[in-house]
Amino acid sequence: MKFSLLILDDEPMVCNSLRRILEEEDREILTATNLKKAREVLQSEPIDLLLLDFKLDSTDGITFLKEVREDFPDLLVIMITAYGNIDIAVEAMRNGAYDFIQKKEEPDFIRYTVSRALENLRLKKEVEELRRSFQLESPLPAIVAFSQGMKRTLYLAEQFAQTDSTVLITGETGTGKNLIAHYVHLNSHRFNRPFISINCAAIPHELLESELFGYEKGAFTGAHQKGKKGLIEQANGGTLFLDEIGELSLDLQSKLLHVLERNEIYRLGAETPTTIDVRFIAATNSDLQELVDQKKFRLDLFYRLNVANIQVPPLRERKEDILPIAKQFIENFNKKFNKKVHRITVEAENFLRSYYWPGNVRELRNMIERAMLLNRSGILKMEDLSLNPIDVRCPEPPSDHAQFKVLLNPAKGENLLHLAQRQLIEQALEIAGNNRSRAARLLGIPRTSLNFYIQKYGLKE
């Protein structure tokens, strides 16, 4: 851990001699001989420790001590007092100074006092990070994996966890992408450092940039706000999970690419970069390749993210997992709702196994939760398993009988693939009675992609 120190004393001689005494490899030492300079440094640099002379020309040290305690509550302050002036030292400590040193003190003693303060700071930072990573994140639920598909997913996650490379997790909504991202983090050497996750779709574009990159004091006109660390910096030493990466604007995509390539960020309003040590995991349920084709996603970023790809299979493709996951949810909700459900009827089991699960594990979880809330008999029956009103509109899996016919009369210069695509989409919409979710499922593509094609070909339902 590298520390930055600022010495504020109006005598340059004192600044220089203290600097010589305190100089060490892992310390950056800055000096200021007046308040204006000191304020500038504090606002533009992340200073850990301020050595503050009690007797300044323009004001007394205690007034300035109060000011910095207010503006930079995490900053450690050591007061420099004249020899034998213990009263002032006591007052300084009462006002939040961490310690004091007296001028003309033995250099060894000064060194010792400063090292002790920095050691204390280092421990505090470590404890804070540990606490954040273990407390803020709810414990990871056991990941059920009986199917080959899910076993392979976990195997890949464990392998990638050993490296520091960027991981891209893809899969339909509700398949467990967040869970896998956290699993990668916990299996990596960063497990006891922060795991910070941000949903790119949930935050307006204008705010997302400052959330991610942070900003310097005064980066926004008219505001007197303090500088702020962004999420990337907060994840330092740990993992940053960028959920719904497909929603990132092109502008932020190029900034993110820079971060991934250089391991450095520019806070908003900053002229110099800050080095970072963060593992990135991204997830999406959209087809990034398709977004690349639409020029909505940068190809170079796609390549950079796609170094290690984990595809989480949809629930319908890993039927062996359905009942074990359902049983895990039943156990959880038994505890949560104080119920005693101990069995599922054969009919209900068959339904769970054969249902299409467009909302995947999340839908399964919701269905079990609803069923258990109502259940009195201790046995989960078919009638308990009502579908969510949204699902009711399209509960059935795609019909095996749905047949598509494509008729093409090749003409010079025509893109046959596009013509075929257009016909397939028109037919799917027709078969699905214009229900886009269902049509998308018939076509085996995400609904968002279908929307895109409908727009692209100017189709009317």
Ligand X SMILES: Nc1ncnc2c1ncn2[C@@H]1O[C@H](COP(=O)(O)OP(=O)(O)OP(=O)(O)O)[C@@H](O)[C@H]1O
We find the least distance from the C-beta atom of residue 356 to ligand X, in angstroms, to be 17
We find the least distance from the C-beta atom of residue 309 to Mg ion, in angstroms, to be 16
Q: List the beta bridge partners of residue 309.
A: 168
Tokens of 39: 């304020």
Select from Mg ion, ligand X, none the partner in contact with residue 325, using the beta carbon and a kind-dependent cut-off of 5 to 8 Å: ligand X
CA-to-CA separations, 151 to 48, 164, 181, 434, in angstroms, rounded: 46, 22, 15, 37
Nearest position to ligand X, beta carbon: 176
CA-to-CA separations, 365 to 70, 176, 329, in angstroms, rounded: 47, 12, 6
We find the least distance from the C-beta atom of residue 379 to Mg ion, in angstroms, to be 32
38 vs 325, beta carbon nearer ligand X:
325
Select from ligand X, Mg ion, none the partner in contact with residue 237, using the beta carbon and a kind-dependent cut-off of 5 to 8 Å: none
43 vs 178, beta carbon nearer Mg ion:
178
The answer to whether the beta carbons of residues 229 and 274 sit under 8 Å apart is no
Select from ligand X, Mg ion, none the partner in contact with residue 285, using the beta carbon and a kind-dependent cut-off of 5 to 8 Å: ligand X
User: What are the residues binding ligand X (CB under 6 A)?
Assistant: 141, 143-144, 171, 173-179, 285, 325, 328, 361-362, 365
We find the least distance from the C-beta atom of residue 248 to Mg ion, in angstroms, to be 15
We find the least distance from the C-beta atom of residue 284 to ligand X, in angstroms, to be 8
210 vs 285, beta carbon nearer ligand X:
285
365 vs 438, beta carbon nearer Mg ion:
365
Select from Mg ion, ligand X, none the partner in contact with residue 249, using the beta carbon and a kind-dependent cut-off of 5 to 8 Å: none
227 vs 358, beta carbon nearer ligand X:
358
How many residues line the site for Mg ion (CB under 5 A)? 2
What is the rounded radius of gyration, in angstroms, for the C-alpha atoms of the chain? Answer: 30
We find the least distance from the C-beta atom of residue 133 to ligand X, in angstroms, to be 18
Select from Mg ion, ligand X, none the partner in contact with residue 151, using the beta carbon and a kind-dependent cut-off of 5 to 8 Å: none
50 vs 291, beta carbon nearer ligand X:
291
Segment lying near Mg ion (by CB under 5 A), choices 85-93, 172-180, 268-276, 320-328:
172-180
Chain-centroid distance of CA 237 in Å reads 13
CA distance 131 to 50: 26
35 vs 179, beta carbon nearer ligand X:
179
81 vs 175, beta carbon nearer ligand X:
175
Closest CA to 121 of 227, 230, 46, 15: 46
Helix (H) or strand (E) holding 424: helix 416-431
Select from ligand X, Mg ion, none the partner in contact with residue 141, using the beta carbon and a kind-dependent cut-off of 5 to 8 Å: ligand X
CA-to-CA separations, 22 to 6, 129, 389, in angstroms, rounded: 11, 27, 69
Select from ligand X, Mg ion, none the partner in contact with residue 185, using the beta carbon and a kind-dependent cut-off of 5 to 8 Å: none
We find the least distance from the C-beta atom of residue 178 to Mg ion, in angstroms, to be 4
- Does 345 bind Mg ion (CB under 5 A)? Our answer is no
Q: List the beta bridge partners of residue 268.
A: 215
We find the least distance from the C-beta atom of residue 317 to ligand X, in angstroms, to be 13
The answer to whether the beta carbons of residues 230 and 265 sit under 8 Å apart is yes
Rule CB under 5 A: choose which of 17, 43, 95, 178 binds Mg ion: 178
E strands, 318-375, are 343-344
CA distance 434 to 398: 14
Tokens of 91: 């007052």
We find the least distance from the C-beta atom of residue 344 to ligand X, in angstroms, to be 17
Tokens of 74: 């995490």
176 vs 238, beta carbon nearer ligand X:
176
Tokens of 342: 């101990």
Amino acid letter for position 201: A
The answer to whether the beta carbons of residues 171 and 313 sit under 8 Å apart is yes
We find the least distance from the C-beta atom of residue 325 to ligand X, in angstroms, to be 5
CA distance 303 to 166: 10
- Does 173 bind Mg ion (CB under 5 A)? Our answer is no
Q: Compute the 3-state secondary structure of the chain and give helix, strand, coil in percent, each to the nearest 5.
A: 50, 15, 35
CA distance 211 to 364: 33
Select from Mg ion, ligand X, none the partner in contact with residue 179, using the beta carbon and a kind-dependent cut-off of 5 to 8 Å: ligand X
The answer to whether the beta carbons of residues 206 and 252 sit under 8 Å apart is no
Phi, psi of 297 (to 5 degrees): -135, 135
Segment lying near Mg ion (by CB under 5 A), choices 60-68, 171-179, 316-324, 363-371:
171-179
Select from ligand X, Mg ion, none the partner in contact with residue 173, using the beta carbon and a kind-dependent cut-off of 5 to 8 Å: ligand X
CB atoms within 10 A of CB 23: 12
177 vs 365, beta carbon nearer Mg ion:
177
The answer to whether the beta carbons of residues 358 and 441 sit under 8 Å apart is yes
3-state class (DSSP) for residue 244: coil
306 vs 421, beta carbon nearer ligand X:
306
Q: Where do contacts with Mg ion occur on this chain (CB under 5 A)?
A: 177-178
